[in-house]
Amino acid sequence: MKEMGIRELAKYPFLREAHEFVKESGVSLDEVLSAPPENNLPLQDAWNRVFGAFAGNIAFIPGVRDALWSMLIKRYHGEDIDAGEIELAARSSVSAYLSAEEVYVPSSEEALEARILSYPLARILVSCIGDRRFMRRYALKEAELFRKLLQSDFEIMGDFSFLHDVGKELGLNIEISSDRAAMDVAGYVKNTAQMKDRRKHLLFQDVRGGMVYFTRRPGEEEMAYMSVIFRSFQQALQNRLDMELPLDIPDDMCSELFIPVNLLGFVINERYDNYSIGKLGDVETDKFPPCMKWLLGMAKEGVNLPHSGRFALTAFLNKVGMEIDDIVAVFSASPDFNESITRYQVKHIAGEISGTEYTPQKCSVMVSEGLCHNPDELCKKKWMNHPLTYYRVKKEGERRKRKRKG
Ligand code: SF4
């Protein structure tokens, strides 16, 4: 791997070289943690990372001028702030992050060093906050930031060897040239499993000698053949972060970060609580088939479901009578949750937009899509062909039992 400059390390702080840089810089974490927030560049950038992930876009706002950061400064100076003020500040700060399009990369050495340090500090903050649903969202947003930077650097410099080196560190086996890219089959399957586009399935790819090839087609944009490669870079970093978090942080270090951890933890909890599933009506989740219990459990845990899984669960919940608001709430822990998009999709499946109410896939399709999970004795009956049949049979059986007893 060719040696990287401090600017590259500031953009890609997860690389081994950035880790070495932090070790050799001699800056101790204690020094960083004890500096007042107004002059603490690493903490400011770490805040931008963590709150940006919460907001939906990691943006580096010079001097952190968001309203919630102002609450943090007040807290550091011993001022009391009530929950209502924090909620208002968080709400108004979100739009500042969402509207920041460019990734601001500083030029001074001090600020670049702070940007590198902000990465381990952000991971410490996220680990101290301790919410696994949020950890997954943070991993996704950090990985999206990485893809944005990598793609823009590549478009400007066209440095194939850099991509190759970074890919290698993320465990990607890739070959890239000016009109063709390739990735090993195992890496392709692992890093494209979450993609919603069915055309990305291995069946539709050009596979030769254990590699999947992407070539520039006539009329296609110059970099179009690279899009799957960039998405795979993103997924590889996301997978790595998902695996690494939470870090094992000593309690006294989390205590040092009490104010940012407490503020961020408060707004994160508020969001998840706001979407907690309300009335289930007559919906009896204990009668759900194993596949739907599994999908529902993963959705609540913040695991990003594949497109077919989201569709199956949404259509099923709608058919068994769950309210639109409650179905939206089911997906609120998802790392890429966006309320208006989710609501639109749920309404679409429920037939409120197109007039067509969709039905979940039947068992044979669930099996072929890898969604039939842990089938039980009822699932194994010859006549069992649909998750909705399973639910109805279970409900009916219960009703008859009650009648007999009565
Ligand atoms: S057999 Fe059908 S109902 Fe049972 S777990 Fe599989 S897909 Fe679900």
Same domain, 329 and 230: no
Atom 6 of ligand 1 has which residue's CA nearest to it?
A: 372
Residue 305 and residue 354 share a domain = yes
Distance 312 CA to ligand 1 centre (A): 11
Statement: residue 328 has pLDDT above 60: yes
171: left (phi over 0), alpha (psi -120 to 50) or beta: left
End position of a domain, from candidates 224, 245, 266: 245
pLDDT surpassing 60 at residue 280: no
Instruction: Looking at the structure, tell me whether residues 361 and 260 fall in a common domain.
Output: no
* Percent share of the chain, pLDDT over 90: 53
Q: Which residues contact 155 (CB under 8 A, 6 or more apart)?
A: 223
Report pLDDT for 96: 85
Q: Is the pLDDT of residue 239 over 60?
A: yes
Average pLDDT over residues 66-89: 91
Residue 405 has pLDDT above 70, yes or no: no
pLDDT tops 80 at residue 184? yes
Please tell me the residue having the least CA distance from ligand 1 atom 8.
291
Residues 115 and 166 in one domain: no
> Ligand 1 pocket by C-beta < 6 Å: which residues?
289-291, 363, 366, 372-373, 375, 379, 384, 387, 390
233 with 126, same domain? no
Distance 321 CA to ligand 1 centre (A): 19
Same domain flag for 314 and 209: no
Dihedral Cα 26, 27, 28, 31, nearest 10 deg: 140
How does pLDDT run across 330-374, given as a tens digit for each residue? 998 888 888 889 999 999 999 988 788 999 999 999 999 999 999
Task: Please indicate, yes or no, whether residues 3 and 126 belong to a single structural domain of this protein.
Answer: yes
Instruction: State which ligand 1 atom lies nearest to the alpha carbon of 376.
Output: 4
Are residue 135 and residue 14 in the same domain, yes or no? no
Domain boundary among 235, 257, 274: 274
Give the residue among 8, 43, 7 at the shortest CA–CA distance from 117: 43
Q: For the residues 21-41, what does the mean pLDDT come to?
A: 88
Pocket test for ligand 1, best of 379, 380, 389 (most atoms within 8 A of CB): 379
Claim to verify: residue 266 and residue 339 sit in the same structural domain: no
Do 177 and 316 belong together in one domain? Answer: no
- Domain containing 391: what range? 278-405
* Token pair listed for 215: 């070539």
Question: Is the model's pLDDT at 149 over the cut of 90?
Answer: yes
Residues 146 and 63 occupy one common structural domain: no
> How far, in Å, from the CA of 373 to the mean position of ligand 1?
7
Mean pLDDT within 215-221: 77
Q: Contacts by 45-49 with C-beta closer than 8 Å and gap 24+?
A: 45/114, 45/115, 45/117, 45/118, 45/121, 45/122, 46/117, 46/118, 46/119, 46/121, 46/122, 46/124, 46/125, 47/72, 47/125, 47/260, 48/97, 48/118, 49/118, 49/119, 49/122, 49/138, 49/142
Q: What is the total count of domains within the chain?
A: 3
Specify whether 20 is located in the same domain as 99.
yes
Q: Determine the average pLDDT of the residues in 119-137.
A: 95
